[in-house]
Amino acid sequence: MVENSSPPVDTRPEVRRDAAPVPYREALKQMEQRNAAIHSGEAAELVWLLEHPPVYTAGTSAAADELLDPRFEVVEAGRGGRYTYHGPGQRVGYVLLDLGRRNRDVRRFVHCIEGWVIDTLSDFGIESWRAPGRVGIWTRDAAGGEAKIGAIGVRVRRWVTMHGFSVNLAPDLSHFTGIVPCGIEEFGVTSLEQLGIACTQDQWDEALLARMEDFLAGVARSCGETS
């Protein structure tokens, strides 16, 4: 890890919550602009909660044979990872933090995003976990098999983060069959709805934001400190 020589950040990021779907390309454009503005000191950090119209996004490791049925628009996202799906009923969180000021540890940042989602899911009675060698957030589906309930994908430019995570509240799970989600064929996807839990956008957002301070504190810790 590169030691952070800047003073600790004691300000909260701006929080933006959109209820109406935001087209993916428009969100990507806004993220890129905000990334540059944060780096130059012209804008505050941002946590942006939103959803998208149906879209398949390709990460930098996406393989062509994992796009099975391009029934929706396919967009190259520029983030890490492979193919993923975004659409109505899925809550997306874009996290734009200045790690140059907070903690220049990308692995720690990703670990903390995973923990943030896992802890929030626990507030709805869902046990979830990280799985070695498999990106994302995992739980048991309605049949008891292991399934993905959340996706993780980030990009860091000039030490300012972009992209973040998505969590399946109540999407149409058949839309995931057009791709091999995150390149993992042997496991399916699930949602809070499939697990019998009704959760609105607002309920998810409030629970997530109630844990934001813990997330930010975790990002600031060094690798040797407990989370």
Query: Is 85 annotated as a binding-site member?
Result: yes
Query: Is 139 annotated as a binding-site member?
Result: no
Query: Is 170 annotated as a binding-site member?
Result: no
Match 């301070």 to its residue by tokens: 213
Amino acid letter at 120?
Answer: T
Q: Residue ranges of the alpha helices (H) in the chain?
A: 24-39, 99-102, 106-122, 201-210, 212-220
**Pairwise CA distance, residues 100 & 4, whole Å:** 7
Our answer to whether residue 199 is catalytic in this structure is: no
Query: Is 115 annotated as a binding-site member?
Result: no
Query: Is 84 annotated as a binding-site member?
Result: yes
Query: Is 164 annotated as a binding-site member?
Result: yes
Query: Is 56 annotated as a binding-site member?
Result: no
C-alpha distances (whole Å) from 15 to each of 105, 118, 177, 187 are: 23, 20, 32, 33
Q: What is the DSSP string of 8-72?
A: PP-SPPEEEE--S---HHHHHHHHHHHHHHHHTTSS--EEEEE--SSEEEE-TT--GGGB----S
Q: How many CB atoms lie within 10 A of CB 95?
A: 23
Query: Is 140 annotated as a binding-site member?
Result: no
Query: Is 215 annotated as a binding-site member?
Result: no
Query: Is 150 annotated as a binding-site member?
Result: no
Residue among 112, 182, 199, 223 flagged as catalytic: 182
Q: Give the active site residues.
A: 182
Annotated binding-site members for substrate? 79-86, 151-153, 164-166
Annotated binding-site members? 79-86, 151-153, 164-166
